[in-house]
Amino acid sequence: MKTKMVRTAIFPVAGLGTRFLPATKGTPKELLPVIDKPLIQFAIDEARAAGVERMVFVTHPTKSAIEHYVRDDAELREALKAHGKARLAHELEESALDESSTEVIFVMQNEPLGLGHAVLCAKTQVLPGPVAVVLPDDLILGEPGCLSEMIEAYATCSAKHLVAAMEVPRELTERYGILSVTSQEGQFFHADGVVEKPAPAKARSCLAVIGRYILDPSIFSDLEAQAPGAGGEIQLTDGIARGIDRLGLAGFSISGHRFDCGSKVGMFEATLFVANQNPIYAEVLRRYCAAP
Ligand code: UTP
């Protein structure tokens, strides 16, 4: 069982975020908030709840605000306390990573050459064993958190690459990695292939890969051998596909609610969903919807 322990989570956050321009000209996409909580905070909380020991953020030199956000800011907390805002200071402390219990590492991807390339940039920083990859712009809400659920499932899964998956309408297959499903076993969908962004007519299923992965460490050598694929980028799905014969691949049908916060519509839906959980915002929503 020990070799299956997932000790490292990689957060690729080096992308350009073009779909959110002009907002992302000044603010990295991963720091855009759902109400007041940045996407990256949701991802950190999920990984922390799953008990990972090391978080590796793959970022870009122009996105230094991410490191600034992730590191604790004791000075700000002190300033808040001095201004009588002890509660806020406490909340900041709670959300900050305690670096005495979780290692935090930043590595640079100097050019956004694709998600697979971003993951490869973390290669020398991972602890032994399988690694988790978390895409902060795929917001997954639910209890237990998606990563906790997947790590538990991974321990019982025969495949060594496990990817979060969900059904999508056929006309949307061009936006996702799509699994070639061979059999289903509870929440596991065993697959003998995965293809990045197939046209709807060519997609082997409508089961799409979404932004949580637990991968065998040989993913790094597979990515090193990987030529650019769809969109001229080094695709993570192509690296995963390379290892299928050796390692097996399964999609894991997640229990949580997933929002594509890389898109404006997804971000808007997430905001409405989260707002609706809070009586104050829910009342605003109710009034707004009732208005003529
Ligand atoms: P996306 O493809 O959704 O992000 O990648 P993007 O390219 O930044 O966004 P658009 O399409 O231009 O709007 C999913 C995640 O992978 C990271 C992104 O930062 C995001 O968290 N990523 C993507 C990298 O770290 N490096 C890359 O080369 C590509």
In this structure, the residue with its CA closest to atom 3 of ligand 1 is: 262
How many whole angstroms from 170 Cα to the centroid of ligand 1? 23
> Could you read off the pLDDT of 192-249 as tens digits, one per residue?
999 999 999 999 999 999 999 999 999 999 999 998 888 889 999 999 999 999 999 9
How many whole angstroms from 132 Cα to the centroid of ligand 1? 17
Domain range enclosing 88: 8-289
How many whole angstroms from 15 Cα to the centroid of ligand 1? 4
**Start-end of H helices in 203-263:** 219-224, 236-242, 244-247
Q: What percent of the chain has pLDDT over 90?
A: 91
Lowest mean pLDDT of 3-12, 27-36, 61-70, 238-247, name the range.
Answer: 3-12
The model carries a pTM of 0.95
Residue 40 in domain:
yes
pLDDT of residue 4: 64
Residue 1 in domain:
no
> Could you read off the pLDDT of 132-184 as tens digits, one per residue?
999 999 999 999 999 999 999 999 999 999 999 999 999 999 999 999 999 99
DSSP per-residue letters across 75-94: HHHHHHHHTT-HHHHHHHHH
Residue 150 to residue 187: CA distance in whole angstroms: 10
Phi, psi (5° rounding) for residue 202? -100, -10
How many whole angstroms from 30 Cα to the centroid of ligand 1? 10
Atom nearest to 13 CA in ligand 1:
19
**Start-end of H helices in 135-278:** 146-154, 219-224, 236-242, 244-247, 264-277
How many whole angstroms from 85 Cα to the centroid of ligand 1? 36
Atom nearest to 233 CA in ligand 1:
28
Mean pLDDT computed over every residue of the chain: 95
Phi, psi (5° rounding) for residue 258? -105, 135
- Contact criterion met (CB below 8 Å) for 285 and 269: no
> Could you read off the pLDDT of 256-275 as tens digits, one per residue?
999 999 999 999 999 999 99
Res 3 pLDDT > 90: no
Pocket of ligand 1 (CB under 6 A): 12-19, 29-30, 58, 109, 112-115, 117-118, 135-137, 262
Residue 3 in domain:
no
In this structure, the residue with its CA closest to atom 9 of ligand 1 is: 17
In this structure, the residue with its CA closest to atom 5 of ligand 1 is: 15
Please choose from 120, 137, 237 the residue to mutate so as to test ligand 1's pocket, defined by most ligand atoms within 8 A of CB.
137
Residue 248 in domain:
yes
Residue 261, domain CATH: 3.90.550.10
With cut-offs at 50, 70 and 90, classify the pLDDT of residue 2.
very low
pLDDT of residue 231: 84
Q: What is the mean pLDDT of residues 35-49?
A: 97
Residue 256 to residue 251: CA distance in whole angstroms: 15
Res 1 pLDDT > 80: no
> Could you read off the pLDDT of 79-108 as tens digits, one per residue?
999 999 999 999 999 889 988 889 999 999
Residue 78 in domain:
yes
In this structure, the residue with its CA closest to atom 22 of ligand 1 is: 15
**How many structural domains compose the chain?**
1
Res 40 pLDDT > 90: yes
Quote the strand ranges of 149-220, DSSP E: 161-167, 177-185, 188-196, 207-215
In this structure, the residue with its CA closest to atom 4 of ligand 1 is: 15
